[in-house]
Amino acid sequence: MTMSAPFTLSGTAIPQNARLMLDQICEHFIEHANVSRMDDVVVMKNDEATAEIRLSGEQLLIDLACPSDQALQMTRIMLAEHMFYFAGEEPLDLQWSAPAPLGPLSNLHHVTVTGAEDITPHMRRVRVACADVSPFLDGNMHVRVLIPPRYRTPVWPGVRDDGRIAWPEGEDEITVRVYTIRKVDVQAGELWIDFFQHPMPGVSTPGADFARDAQPGDRIALLGPGGGGRPEALSLLLIGDETALPAILRILEELPEAATAEAIIEVMNADEEQPVSSKGDITLRWLHRETAGTTNALRTAAQEAIAASAPDRYIWIACEKEDIRMLRPLLKTKEREKGRSYLAWYWERT
Ligand SMILES: Cc1cc2nc3c(=O)[nH]c(=O)nc-3n(C[C@H](O)[C@H](O)[C@H](O)COP(=O)(O)OP(=O)(O)OC[C@H]3O[C@@H](n4cnc5c(N)ncnc54)[C@H](O)[C@@H]3O)c2cc1C
């Protein structure tokens, strides 16, 4: 393959079962990139990277090419993390043609809490100051929020030789949870994150608790952004619960005038509804868990709305894992084009 992007890196992976891992990579990344496979060669492309992975005997030979060094380092980490995830308990030897740069991760942003407030009874907004908000302006909306232990000098993650993230351990262990950047306030140099408060008696909820206790001056870090963002489509159906609400409201607020969107959002009750303004033509339908009389109100409403949607309408869904598992097959129809949907579970009932 010709690697035309200027920043390149190669690697060799020796998993227990190289062919199986190639299959797993293909199956997983088909949701996130343009993936093509010719026999034992897989090529994955997106705006930030081209990755070619070739099966050669018991090995996987990897070639990465990216438009920037930062994208290259991020792609290495992402691929290494996934390969070790797919390997599970089995051994995996992964080596690269060049070591990872020393120092902090290039997409790690140190931020300081400037304020926190309840915007509804169960949604708490935390505002953080960030030296450079520009990476959060386009495309990707999600971050890993890194919460260091209180009363210790934070130790932030780096990169291991095999490309994976080296997380601090023991007393320096960091809590990591995924959240959405609700808004980028360029003038104030601030990012807003809305944390759903889902207290559970006797269960620790470190992400929600951080927001509940956040004080101006608290230092945390954000890793990202990544994980998908605003769909480009002009006709959208957005479905989700409180965890998806920050993303849905941001998508609606940033719609162009020509866009039409319908949003179905499940919250506890009417007190949890939030106002939204948009240039697009939008319709909001709030479902109230407290009065729905069924635990499956969101799932049922989603099924009906998907069935009534034209195949070219972009469908975006984020909610609990089991609901996503039930809804996924509905989008795998012959008429619906690949790349016209986003389905992600944002939390898991335990
Ligand atoms: C891409 C992405 C973006 C996200 N964006 C946001 C966001 O902007 N705002 C937001 O609030 N959340 C968001 N989430 C969801 C959030 O990461 C999870 O809810 C996370 O589990 C919260 O961490 P925690 O430490 O509070 O609870 P955990 O320690 O993860 O879980 C503790 C217990 O709480 C339960 N639990 C977790 N979430 C919920 C819930 N929503 N309702 C009921 N019980 C729950 C779990 O089942 C578990 O029993 C996002 C997730 C993803 C993947």
Q: What is the pLDDT of residues 315-337, one digit of tens each?
A: 999 999 999 999 999 988 777 77
Interhelix angle for 321-331 vs 297-307, to 10°?
A: 10
Cα 151 to averaged position of ligand 1 atoms, centre (Å): 25
pLDDT digits (tens, 9 = 90+) for 34-81: 889 998 999 999 888 999 999 999 999 999 999 998 889 989 999 999
**Ligand 1, from 205, 245, 342: best to mutate by most atoms within 8 Å of Cβ?**
205
DSSP state letter for 170 = G
Ligand 1, atom 52: nearest CA belongs to which residue? 346
Residue 139 has pLDDT above 80, yes or no: no
The C-alpha atoms of residue 264 and residue 286 are separated, in whole angstroms, by 6
Average pLDDT, the chain: 92
Domain ranges of the chain: 7-96, 108-227, 230-347
Ligand 1, atom 7: nearest CA belongs to which residue? 179
CATH class of 7-96: alpha beta
Neighbours of 81 (CB within 10 A): 14
Q: What is the mean pLDDT of residues 300-304?
A: 95
- 199 confidence band (pLDDT: 50, 70, 90): confident
Q: How far is CA 59 from CA 10, 30, 38, 204, in A?
A: 13, 22, 17, 42
SS3 for 317? strand
Cα 125 to averaged position of ligand 1 atoms, centre (Å): 15
Structure tokens of 173?
Answer: 């262990």
Q: Could you name the CATH architecture of 230-347?
A: 3-Layer(aba) Sandwich (3.40)
E-assigned strand segments in the chain: 7-15, 34-38, 41-45, 50-56, 59-66, 92-96, 108-120, 123-130, 140-147, 158-159, 165-166, 175-180, 183-185, 190-196, 219-229, 235-240, 260-267, 281-288, 314-320, 341-347
Cα Dmax for the chain: 60
Question: Which of 304, 287, 326 lies closest to 237 in space, CA to CA?
Answer: 304
The C-alpha atoms of residue 110 and residue 116 are separated, in whole angstroms, by 17
- Check whether the bond before 275 is cis (ω within 30° of 0): no
Cα 169 to averaged position of ligand 1 atoms, centre (Å): 23
pLDDT for the residue numbered 229: 76
Cα 347 to averaged position of ligand 1 atoms, centre (Å): 5
Superfamily of domain 108-227, CATH level 4: Translation factors (2.40.30.10)
Q: What is the mean pLDDT of residues 121-150?
A: 94
- 350 confidence band (pLDDT: 50, 70, 90): confident
Cα 127 to averaged position of ligand 1 atoms, centre (Å): 18
**86-90, 215-219, 289-293: the lowest-pLDDT one:** 289-293
pLDDT for the residue numbered 267: 97
- 265 confidence band (pLDDT: 50, 70, 90): very high
Cα 196 to averaged position of ligand 1 atoms, centre (Å): 8
**Ligand 1, from 141, 143, 346: best to mutate by most atoms within 8 Å of Cβ?**
346
pLDDT for the residue numbered 4: 66
Ligand 1 pocket by C-beta < 6 Å: which residues? 142, 177-180, 194-196, 198, 200, 203, 205-208, 227, 242-243, 246, 344, 346-350
Contacts of residue 209, Cβ cutoff 8 Å, sequence gap at least 6: none
Question: Which of 211, 193, 222, 207 lies closest to 135 in space, CA to CA?
Answer: 222
pLDDT for the residue numbered 70: 86
Cα 318 to averaged position of ligand 1 atoms, centre (Å): 12
pLDDT for the residue numbered 298: 95
Residue 141 has pLDDT above 90, yes or no: yes
Cα 243 to averaged position of ligand 1 atoms, centre (Å): 7
The C-alpha atoms of residue 120 and residue 103 are separated, in whole angstroms, by 40
pLDDT for the residue numbered 323: 94
- 3 confidence band (pLDDT: 50, 70, 90): low
Cα 62 to averaged position of ligand 1 atoms, centre (Å): 34
* Angle (CA) 294 178 125, round 5°: 80
**5-9, 136-140, 203-207, 290-294: the lowest-pLDDT one:** 290-294
**Ligand 1, from 123, 347, 348, 350: best to mutate by most atoms within 8 Å of Cβ?**
347
The C-alpha atoms of residue 145 and residue 218 are separated, in whole angstroms, by 13
Q: What is the mean pLDDT of residues 150-162?
A: 91
Q: What is the mean pLDDT of residues 280-285?
A: 97
Ligand 1, atom 37: nearest CA belongs to which residue? 347
Question: Which of 98, 191, 84 lies closest to 142 in space, CA to CA?
Answer: 191
Question: Which of 28, 37, 82 lies closest to 55 in space, CA to CA?
Answer: 37
Neighbours of 337 (CB within 10 A): 11
pLDDT for the residue numbered 187: 97
Ligand 1, atom 28: nearest CA belongs to which residue? 205
Strand 158-159 relative to strand 140-147, pairing: unpaired
**83-87, 150-154, 241-245: the lowest-pLDDT one:** 150-154
